[in-house]
Amino acid sequence: MKGKVLDFTYFKLLNEQLVLRQFGLDRVLSTNQYHQIKKRSMNFSLTDEQLAVQEAAREFAQKELKPGVIERDTHMKYPKEQVQMMAELGFLGMMVDPKYGGGGMDTVAYTIAMEEISKVDNSCSVIMSVNNSLVCWGLETYGTEAQKLKYLTKLAMGEWLGCFCLSEPEAGSDATSQRTTAVDMGDHYLLSGTKNWITNGGMADVHLVIAQTDPEKGHRGINAFIVEADWDGIAIGAKEDKLGIRSSDTHSIMYSDVKVPKENRIGEDGFGFKFAMKTLAGGRIGIAAQALGITGGAYELSVAYAKEREAFGKPIAKHQAISFKLADMAMDIEAAKMLVYRSAWLKDQGLDYNSASSMAKLFASEIAMRHTVEAVQVHGGYGFVKEYHVERLMRDAKITQIYEGTSEIQRLVIARNLLHGQLYVPTPEYGEASV
Ligand code: CAA
């Protein structure tokens, strides 16, 4: 009988057979069934590899990113050397198969690295996130072998950087309303239009561009293309002067009759909108991890400051007004971790993570905004100046509620899924091992 394993009490070896005690009954399992259940049982510990990634990312962020982060943010200075270091450390193609130059790691490890780097420098973490989850993942999952060999390998190794060009001046949340066109000319397309708010826009070597090829077909007439940045007809707009993530590279990009070879289309004709949606569902896990890291960074700074700073004869951490803020931060961080790590885990298990990633991004970005404001409050006047880092984290938090789908779009995705019958984020079935 198939079902879900919810309350098994123990596994044991009995007469050299593996036994699962569930609902008061002993059931004999094959070794295969035992391993299948064990693999999917609830387990909150990280693997050795994930722990090593966490330590490496934390050390890199604290030692290499923290020292210049205020200056880069103030002067909107692109973190060129730091991105180079991220490439060398393997942070730009973490999940890509090693045969294409990637780290071969799981989404949970990538999530943890994003979290640690985002505690310190969110310009670096968004550069990393776009390259990993929007560009490399999309190419590895849906690209042809020739596309992977030509583009993915360099992108995964960080020799090249990629950008994801979906948003337009008049198509942000309403992503199906693409005005950029790609006219089929037989052996190539002619691509024309403007893309907005493109992270890595001025630095990218490879653009993944979404464009309308057949307006009559609506979203089914949209395609995705691999475009090389140095092809004729591409102009990059001025770098945007932003509230947060100020040293990341955000531009509009204009395409004017850019000749794109047919072999650079990703997937079947008309697959472009689904390509964008599927890619963004995973991208949202990266941004959720970024928001989690921002909150974590603000929390760690607040705890340290509150223990040190004295007022009315004792550390402010001992005043209830401050300690309750810290308690709320700690609680929300733990809750966000569950959503963020679980959405990554669902993706790693090959299970549906569409609602889960939206929930993770929505919750993590909302708490990031709320608690970074509180972190500034904990720091008082010092929180209002750059030197103490929390004002930057507060400014950075805002974008996590906007890019890769606003909070409102995440609610829309969750609501549509639940109204279409998916009341909860799916819990995995236990296959043969179920009882
Ligand atoms: N996976 C696969 N297919 C999907 C999908 C998913 N996750 N979501 C939607 N689709 C499919 C639908 O099934 C439908 O296909 P069919 O008609 O064949 O069934 C098609 O896509 C259209 O879907 P909808 O009818 O739901 O389209 P919509 O217009 O009503 O709404 C939306 C879609 C969810 C609102 C979508 O437009 C959206 O996600 N908008 C936000 C865009 C966004 O996130 N932009 C971020 C820009 S990138 C960025 O920020 C990167 C950066 O630089 C940091």
The residue annotated as part of the active site, out of 334, 404, 408, 432, is 404
Residues of the chain with pLDDT under 70: 1-29, 31, 33-41, 425-435
User: Is residue 163 in contact with ligand 1, taking CB distance under 6 Å?
Assistant: no
User: Is residue 103 in contact with ligand 1, taking CB distance under 6 Å?
Assistant: no
In tens, the pLDDT along 159-205 reads 999 999 999 999 999 999 999 999 999 999 999 999 999 999 999 99
- Ligand 1, atom 43, residue with closest C-alpha: 405
CA 229 to each of CA 125, 160, 246, 259: distance values in angstroms, whole numbers, following the listed order:
22, 11, 22, 12
Nearest-CA neighbor of 59 among 85, 35, 27, 84?
Answer: 85
- Ligand 1, atom 48, residue with closest C-alpha: 404
CA 349 to each of CA 112, 209, 332, 346, 374: distance values in angstroms, whole numbers, following the listed order:
17, 29, 26, 5, 36
250 CA closest ligand 1 atom index: 53
CA of 186 to the centre of ligand 1 (A): 28
Supply 372's token pair: 């970074």
C-alpha span between 261 and 258 (Å, rounded):
10
CA of 370 to the centre of ligand 1 (A): 27
For the chain, the residue count is 435
Q: What is the DSSP letter of 157?
A: T
Beta bridge partners of 171: 168
Q: What is the largest CA-CA distance in the chain?
A: 78
C-alpha span between 16 and 337 (Å, rounded):
39
- Burial pattern 65-99, b for ≥16 Cβ within 10 A else e, equals beeebeebbeebebbeebbebbbebbbbbbbbeee
196 close to 252: Cβ distance less than 8 angstroms: yes
User: Is residue 60 in contact with ligand 1, taking CB distance under 6 Å?
Assistant: no
200 CA closest ligand 1 atom index: 53
pLDDT attached to residue 1: 30
C-alpha span between 79 and 85 (Å, rounded):
10
Q: What is the DSSP letter of 171?
A: B
274 CA closest ligand 1 atom index: 3
CA of 218 to the centre of ligand 1 (A): 13
CA of 337 to the centre of ligand 1 (A): 25
CA of 273 to the centre of ligand 1 (A): 7
pLDDT attached to residue 18: 63
Q: Is 177 helix (H, G, I), strand (E, B) or coil?
A: coil
C-alpha span between 229 and 204 (Å, rounded):
7
In tens, the pLDDT along 314-367 reads 999 999 999 999 999 999 999 999 999 999 999 998 989 999 999 999 999 999
pLDDT attached to residue 43: 80
User: Is residue 219 in contact with ligand 1, taking CB distance under 6 Å?
Assistant: yes
Phi, psi of 351, rounded to the nearest 5 degrees: -100, 165
**Helix 48-60 to helix 80-89 angle, to the nearest 10 degrees?**
160
239 close to 202: Cβ distance less than 8 angstroms: yes
CA of 233 to the centre of ligand 1 (A): 28
Nearest-CA neighbor of 227 among 172, 150, 342, 124?
Answer: 150
CA of 286 to the centre of ligand 1 (A): 17
Supply 247's token pair: 């040293």
User: Is residue 353 in contact with ligand 1, taking CB distance under 6 Å?
Assistant: no
Mutate to test the pocket of ligand 1, among 220, 277, 351 (most ligand atoms within 8 A of CB): 277
Mutate to test the pocket of ligand 1, among 122, 268, 274 (most ligand atoms within 8 A of CB): 274
User: Is residue 253 in contact with ligand 1, taking CB distance under 6 Å?
Assistant: no
Determine whether 429 is an active site residue. Answer: no
pLDDT attached to residue 44: 86
User: Is residue 166 in contact with ligand 1, taking CB distance under 6 Å?
Assistant: yes
Supply 327's token pair: 């308690």
CA of 175 to the centre of ligand 1 (A): 7
C-alpha span between 95 and 179 (Å, rounded):
32
C-alpha span between 209 and 202 (Å, rounded):
14
User: Is residue 402 in contact with ligand 1, taking CB distance under 6 Å?
Assistant: no
User: Is residue 359 in contact with ligand 1, taking CB distance under 6 Å?
Assistant: no
User: Is residue 167 in contact with ligand 1, taking CB distance under 6 Å?
Assistant: yes
273 CA closest ligand 1 atom index: 21
- Ligand 1, atom 44, residue with closest C-alpha: 405
C-alpha span between 143 and 151 (Å, rounded):
10
